Structure 1
């Protein structure tokens, strides 16, 4: 499955097939680790969560709790297949925010 990191502005994003995963942090607060996540395809936003602590977002994906909140089997499959890369992106978001070269996500399994 396709997994690509890109950036159209301040925040980098992940392309998973036809879906784009946007994860944003509050730049105003240095110690604030709350994030917003939006998964979009075209004009549809099948998943969004705002002001979620980084650890809770990681747990949501790692523990599989996110799957019960998704109504698209293709999106569930993409997240399952790329779970470790997605978690790496969240855990190292500050490094991705600095821009290219991005951390070595291509060597991460699934």
Structure 2
């Protein structure tokens, strides 16, 4: 993967997530936060490294779940949510999708 400071990086994808089933390792810098977003398919995720946070926008950040390594979650398609790496050091997660998957921001 090409290093891009302070930006998420996809490492060693298994399959092409925009075309069908895939597994993607995502590495983000410490203290990183995603913009509010959704995906076109359901996915499952596992925290490999770092302390991750995930929450649905309908409940707000007060309902965020903190996820240490080994934790996992599922996300339904088209539900707006947010994610963050709470660690000072990078976070690595594995994202798994069974159907074509793209990320989009609210309109």
TM (norm. structure 1) is 0.22
Higher normalized contact order (CA 8 Å, seq sep 6+, divided by chain length): 2
Which of the two has greater strand per residue? 2
Which of the two has greater helix per residue? 1
